[in-house]
Amino acid sequence: MKIVFMGSDPIALPLLNWLREEGGGTVEFLAIYTQPDRPVGRGQRVTANAIKRWAIEHGIPVRQPVKLTRDEREKLALDQPDLALVMAYGHILRDAFIDTPKLGTINLHASILPELRGASPIQSAIAGGGQETGVSLMRIVRELDAGPVADVERVSIDAHDTALDIENKLANACVPLVARNLVALAEGRLEFVAQDSKRATFCRRLVKADGVLDLSLPAAEVAARINGLFPWPSCRIELEGQIIKLGLAQAVAGEGAPGKVYVNESSQLEVGTGDGRVRLLKLQRPGAKMLATADFLRGFPISDGATVPSVPMPALITR
């Protein structure tokens, strides 16, 4: 089966490696489509993303169009691909592009559809208090993430999972999902079932302003927000006159006023909420490393009884 892959995020690397190694006798990569090189980091050095580097390492042609124009579609048609496989590409595909491959265009979406259609399904699943999420193998249609679904691979969301942890779980979950469906897909007999649009929820693209905390809410909601938004955009609080980035949190029982800080002899740092306390497990000062709480407090003592301002949290999920 001759395929093109379209993606720009390292979440796809385990699947690409499996397709090349385990599926080497049945899959041929014609090209890799990925986003153009962009400035990265403090130095803003123009850098190739992980997908492009993988393609170059394995001698696969790379295409990085800024837009998927008619010329790009014609170039794709000349390749005569059997299938286009998409995951976290970052471009909207037009109908003509979707219909060009013989077997169509298939997407791996990082949620259990029809829940969490949109741009931030991993972060929103955790921040929304979910206990599981997954990867859906779906056929692409014009409407956002609304195509019929063939299969889903589910993963658990554990209490201390951040978005980075769940991304790693989902990256590995793509392999068994595609492995058990690849032959049926190649033979054109894989069945796709329409989504129930009445159950659909949507998650938008995240911005830095989403990293605020409403401490009048229950501790479970606050901790889920902290874990779901790490490593980006990350939740931040103002503490002892500095903006502190939070890397991991846990909801615990305990009384206390929302925003009030509690530091005990065991170097545990907790903040009161509307119901219970949120225990801060990893913190980072500006220009420093993310540290476990005990290490953080050794270099940045915090007064028991200090207060943290509360800010309303923008909703991440809508219907």
Residue 28 has pLDDT above 70, yes or no: yes
Mean pLDDT of 117-137: 97
Residue 198 has pLDDT above 70, yes or no: yes
* Extents of the domains making up the chain: 2-203, 210-318
Residue 16: the pLDDT is: 96
Average pLDDT over the chain, rounded to an integer: 95
Please report, rounded to a whole number, the percentage of residues in the chain having pLDDT higher than 70: 99
Query: pLDDT band for position 22 (50/70/90)?
Result: confident
CATH 3.10.25.10 fits 210-318, yes or no: yes
- Reported as a pLDDT band with limits 50, 70 and 90, residue 166 is very high
**Local confidence band at 23 (pLDDT 50, 70, 90 cut-offs):** low
What mean pLDDT comes out for the span 3-24? 92
CATH C-level class of 2-203 = alpha beta
Region of 26 please: left (phi>0), alpha (psi -120 to 50) or beta: alpha
> Quick check: 265 pLDDT over 90?
no
pLDDT value for 295: 96
What distance lies between CA 224 and its chain's CA centroid? 15
Residue-level pLDDT at 24? 55
Q: What is the mean pLDDT of residues 300-307?
A: 92
Q: What percent of the chain is predicted at pLDDT more than 90?
A: 90
Could you tell me the pTM of the whole model? 0.95
Does the pLDDT value for residue 282 go beyond 90? Answer: yes
Q: What is the pLDDT of residues 47-78, one digit of tens each?
A: 999 999 999 999 999 999 999 999 999 999 99
